[in-house]
Amino acid sequence: VGNAFSAMEYMLSEGMAPLIPFAMFLLIGALFGRILCGWACPFGLVQDVLRYARRRPFQVAAHTHRSAVKLKYYILGLVMLVSGTLALSLALGTGQRYKEALGPYAPGPFTALSPAETLFSFLPGLVVKLLEMGEVNVKDFITGLPWIFWARLVIMVAVLVMVAYIPRGWCRYLCPVGAMMGIFSRFSLLGLKIDVVKCNKCGECVRACPMMVRLLEQDPEKISDPECIYCFRCVAACPQGAVKPRFP
C-alpha cells in the first residue's frame, strides 16, 4: 500500500486520475482494514524491533493520544491538497510553474520526506551510487549532497528515536498511508469480537495493544476501529480467550 500511495501522488503530479491506487486502498481497507500495517509493512517491523530494544516504553496519556492520532489525517489532507491542486492546475494547463515551484516535492509531497522511503530506498540507492563511482573524495561527496538529503535524514532519525520510546508511534500519529487505510477500515469485513461471557474486563487486551485501541469501550460484537492494525496481540494476551478475530 505504500507503493500505491506513492503511485497516487505521482499520478496526480502528472495530471492523471489515480483510479487503480485508490481502488486498491478501497478494496483492501474494506476487506481487511489496516491488516497490512500490522503484518506487511517493513517500517512496522523496524518499529517493533526498536520497541523491544527498550524494556519500558513511554506511556502516552489518553487525552494526548486522542488528539495526536488526528495528526496523520491532517498530514494526509495536506498531501492530497498539494497533489490534488497540482493535478487540477495541470488539467487546466496552468500547472507547470506550480510543479517547478514544488521542486522535488512535486512527484510525491509525502514520499519525498517519508522515513520509510529514506531507509529502504533512498539511502540504499545512495550507497549503490557511491560504490559505482569508485574512488571518490568522501568529504566532497558529502558536502555536495542536496539539502533535501539532510532533511530526509533528520526526519528519519527523529522518527526512529520516537518509535523506540512510543510503540508504533509512526503508525499511530504520523503515517498518512495508515490514515488512508483507516478511513476505509471503519467498514472492513475483518474485525474483532469479544465474548462478553468469558471477558472479565481485566484490561490485558488494552495493555497489549501497540495502537492504544480501547477495545473494552466498543461494541463487543464487531470491533472495526480505524486505529487497529490487526496484529492480534490482544487475542494472544487475553487470559480468558475472550478476544477473537471476526470475518465477516
SS3 237: helix
* Predicted pLDDT at 98: 93
Q: Give residue 2's pLDDT.
A: 74
Angle in degrees, CA 189, 195, 196, rounded to 5:
125
Q: What are the tens digits of pLDDT across the range 9-27?
A: 999 999 999 999 999 999 9
- Answer CATH for 190-248 from 3.30.70.20, 3.30.70.120, 3.30.70.100, 3.40.718.10: 3.30.70.20
**pLDDT at 55 > cutoff 80:** no
Structural domain spans, the chain: 2-188, 190-248
The predicted model scores a pTM of 0.92
Distance CA 194, CA 226 (A): 17
**Residue corresponding to grid cell 512496522:** 44
Q: CA-CA distance, 209 to 47, in Å (whole number)?
A: 14
- Residue 2: all three cell numbers together: 505504500
State pLDDT tens for residues 170-227: 999 999 999 999 999 989 999 999 999 999 999 999 999 999 999 999 999 999 999 9
pLDDT at 1 over 80: no
**Residue 157: which of 118, 126, 127, 121 has the closest Cα?**
118
Q: Provide the Cα torsion 237, 222, 65, 51; round to 10°.
A: 30
Tally of CA atoms within 13 A in the half-sphere of 78 that contains its CB: 13
Left, alpha or beta for 112 (phi > 0: left; psi -120 to 50: alpha)?
alpha
Q: Taking 90 as the threshold, does the pLDDT of residue 132 lie above it? A: no
